[in-house]
Amino acid sequence: MCMKKTNQLLPSLTAKEKSVLQFIEAELLTKGISPSYQEICDHFGFASFNSVQNYLKQLTQKGYVSIQQNQKRAIQLLHSAGDFHNHLVERLQVPVEPSRDSYTNQSSPKVSAFDDHSKVLPIPFLGRVAAGQPIERLSDNEFIEIPKNLVKNPRDLFALRVEGESMIEEGIFDGDTLVVQSTKVARDGDLIVASIDTEATVKRFFHKTNPQQPEMGKLIELRPANKKLTSMWYQPGQVEIRGLVKALLRNY
């Protein structure tokens, strides 16, 4: 990882470019090596390496990264995603509000823009947990940023917006955003996102016998958290597990 200073104002980044750059920063900070094309492709759900190459080309042309040819994991970071804002502030000489430490004559460690932006992680926003087909990428490849310390494992994450009140007794309300880790398996009691036919739902997962229909053998119980609703029971082949709910975000 190599960061350099410049007196020239860097070009601004689109939201998509910024998301890719922040992912590269986060990988460099946590692993010490740049992500591979495959890892970038998998993280953002791109259909092919072409999308990865296009974004890296744009970031290279704008001076944020450089790439050594014919080398693996050869993405070199030249500027943080926050450098454009910092350079603009410096050029405009915008005053920074003093911290509490400045009033007590105590100095605090300076946090660089790289350190600050590495604390967030961009993940794809795939739609709404409701009727229809929400587990499909939106046409504009929308992403949201989450605090990096919100999840232990940052891989294979995506976000969904909740619609409805089936899980209100677990504190999940209409309009909340769920951070989901992609997986095809679950254990009894896991909070999952599942697809049934063309609908997606968030429920507690159980693989058990329905006491009212013991002759059916073990079924999949999708249990709501709302006393007005009852569990839904399905044959295992009817339920496709899409992921485990790892965190919740809410705007006030």
DSSP state of 149: G
Angstrom distance (rounded) from CA 2 to CA 25: 11
- Per residue of the chain (252 residues), what is the pLDDT tens digit? 555 555 556 787 787 888 889 889 888 888 888 888 899 988 888 888 888 899 999 999 988 999 887 777 889 888 887 766 565 445 444 343 444 443 344 444 444 444 444 578 888 888 777 544 445 544 456 788 888 888 888 888 989 989 888 999 999 998 899 999 999 999 999 999 998 887 889 999 999 999 999 999 999 999 999 999 999 999 999 999 999 999 999 876
- Of 124, 151, 148, residue with least CA distance to 136: 124
- Of 198, 216, 195, 199, residue with least CA distance to 207: 216
**For the chain, what is the largest distance between any 2 Cα atoms, rounded to a whole number of angstroms?**
75
**What's the confidence (pLDDT) of residue 189?**
96
Q: Which CATH class name applies to 15-117? A: mainly alpha
Rg (CA), the chain: 22
Superfamily of domain 120-249: Umud Fragment, subunit A (2.10.109.10)
The residue from 72, 203, 208, 231 that is catalytic is 203
The residue from 110, 166, 182, 227 that is catalytic is 166
| Geometric angle at alpha carbon 14, from 13 and 19, rounded to 5° | 90
Residue with tokens 């947990």: 129
**What's the confidence (pLDDT) of residue 246?**
93
What is the residue type of 156? Answer: D
**What's the confidence (pLDDT) of residue 226?**
92
**What's the confidence (pLDDT) of residue 213?**
93
Where exactly does CATH 2.10.109.10 map onto the chain?
120-249
Q: Label residues 138-165 b or e (16+ Cβ within 10 Å = b).
A: eeeeebbbbebeebeebeebbbbbbbbe
pTM score of the predicted model:
0.55
On whether the CB atoms of residues 22 and 120 are closer than 8 A, the answer is: yes
On whether the CB atoms of residues 244 and 180 are closer than 8 A, the answer is: yes
On whether the CB atoms of residues 7 and 13 are closer than 8 A, the answer is: no
Residue with tokens 């919100």: 150
Active site residue 31: no
Mention every residue, 6+ apart, whose C-beta is less than 8 A from residue 244: 180, 181, 183, 186, 190, 191, 192, 193
Where exactly does CATH 1.10.10.10 map onto the chain?
15-117
In 10 A of CB 211, how many CB atoms? 6
Question: Rounded to whole angstroms, what are the CA distances from 84 to 7, 10, 14, 193?
Answer: 11, 5, 12, 38
Active site residue 118: no
